[in-house]
Structure 1
């Protein structure tokens, strides 16, 4: 079980998403970006699920909205 950095790019080559995975599953802190480089969204994953505070940013990269994500119940 190794923690690996993950990065995906837009068609123009700019960073679209950045985070880390364990065995291909998102874990820890992640960020998504617009093609101009401003942050779009950020938050944490635990075992592939969004947890805790997730922040959405406006077009200028300023925090716009915070959503509290709770783990799904089985």
Structure 2
């Protein structure tokens, strides 16, 4: 079965949900992988992988008995990491980072049981700071925003 890249994510999941407990995959028309999922007792269990047309990975997620777990990674189509973080017992937990497509860090912070915690920082595409926020178990205590630097004047 081949699917175009823009197929909603839920459609292949719906098609695969009734499958026997094992790994199932779908391909693009050219035969390259589109989606690979693992199932146990009609629940996602194990790695969930999706690719862009052309073969670069789009996302790699992990489930245990239908619950989000472990490290989750998303990529831009050019292969640059877009976002990375972890889940524990279904909740975002630990360090989470997102990058601009040019590879510059966009924001970074910590989660504890699904709540933002501590210092969160953000950066513009040029690497200059965009914000700093302080969080305590999901409550924002302080925020500081930085103006975007002026672009150099054209000569």
Scaled by the length of structure 1, what TM-score is found?
A: 0.74
RMSD across aligned C-alpha pairs, in angstroms?
Answer: 2.3
Counterpart for residue 56 of structure 2: 14
1:14-69 CA-to-partner distances (Å, cap 9, x unmatched) read 32211321112221111111111111100110122111110111212243321222
Counterpart for residue 109 of structure 2: 67
Greater than 4 Å deviation, 4+ residue runs: none
- Match of residue 44, structure 1, among 86, 92, 98: 86
Q: Distance in 1 between matches of 2:78 and 2:108?
A: 22
Q: Does 1:57 align with 2:99?
A: yes
The structure with higher relative contact order (CA 8 Å, sep 6+) is: 1
Deviation at 1:72, TM superposition (A): 4.5
Structure 1: which 5+ residue stretches go unaligned?
none
Whose helix fraction is larger, Structure 1's or Structure 2's?
Answer: 2
Structure 1 pair 44/24, CA: closer, same or farther in 2 (3 Å)?
same
Q: Based on CA coordinates, which of the two structures has the bigger radius of gyration?
A: 2
The size of the alignment, in residue pairs, is 71
Structure 1 pair 72/5, CA: closer, same or farther in 2 (3 Å)?
closer
